[in-house]
Chain A
């Protein structure tokens, strides 16, 4: 593995946004690259950053399920990253993962912030692992399967906004991918956040959720 650089680019939050964020809320900075991992930690190199409405939530001081991004800190983000160094046996250098990291090139994170190993799927772009096979798709999947539970013949309404948000993953990513799986597998929908659609095949059988 080639030597790590000593510095890296980071995008920092330099002030809390007022309303819609503006460019001046952010700053391009240069920070050190961590060179060692502590117990339970992994050093990641970011491949893709996922842009989601959740990031805006973290930029404010509102109480939420994650603490606000500190002023001067790199902007927290969902990412698709590659493991560089690891003190955790489950994660080896070279592994690809979906993670909660930040807008920077390298992040030192607790292993708990790695949300699943990514195995490239032939024919599917790696970026899709953050989209339909990432937070967006997963949010749609669990939001419908577990929470909405539509039945055969029911009407599902969704705001089909191709925004950055697979619904509420740890980043409160928004996804409006509405798939009435058990009503008609592959029912057409669109994922807000991943502009995904399941082609409509409409079947009359009802399939119970697992």
Chain B
């Protein structure tokens, strides 16, 4: 499992805290060579939430019959003009690879079962999470902008209020 992140601190964090086998700084000027070194047999599955130049760089690194899971393209989301487009798209042919998009919404009928499984991993300690929560709806815009600055390590959320439990004996899980 190889991770890409934006600083050497975060690379260290990925490996030491989150259990990655290797982590690379995607801002490195020789990222392509580093990927070759770390993944000598190529990348079998690229879970892509970035798109753009990073996707273009990874495409030649795909292994035969590799798969690109198109989750999103955050590199494109704040563009004011269209980006240059993918130059290496024909790697999909060369590698007999598949690039497939998906929307989680389509799996709604399986959410409950998936959650049960994921909850098990969380309880086992196999799945760790980190939340960065700010209180007060008025802070939502500023907190959202941290998504794009990279100034965070956990999931960004805003707390609006506590659950209401006057009549329903709803017990919030302890934190």
Contact = CB atoms under 8 A, between A and B. Distances in A.
Contacts of A135: 104
Nearest to B130: A195
A85 interface: no
Contacts, number: 372
18 contacts: A19-B78, A21-B141, A46-B137, A48-B159, A51-B144, A53-B147, A56-B144, A65-B103, A142-B104, A143-B69, A147-B102, A156-B44, A158-B46, A161-B49, A163-B152, A180-B1, A196-B128, A197-B20
Contacts of A133: 115, 118-119, 122
B170 A94 contact: yes
Given A147-B69, A169-B105, A174-B71, A127 B152 contact: no
Interface in B21-72: 21, 23, 26, 35, 39, 41-50, 54, 58, 61, 63, 67, 69, 71-72
A21 to B, nearest CB: 6
A9 B44 contact: no
A151 to B, nearest CB: 7
Contacts of A177: 47
- The main secondary structure of chain A at its interface with chain B is loop
Interface of B: 1-6, 10, 14, 17-21, 23, 26, 35, 39, 41-50, 54, 58, 61, 63, 67, 69, 71-72, 74, 77-80, 100-105, 107-108, 110-112, 114-115, 117-119, 121-131, 133, 137-138, 140-145, 147-148, 150, 152-168, 170-175
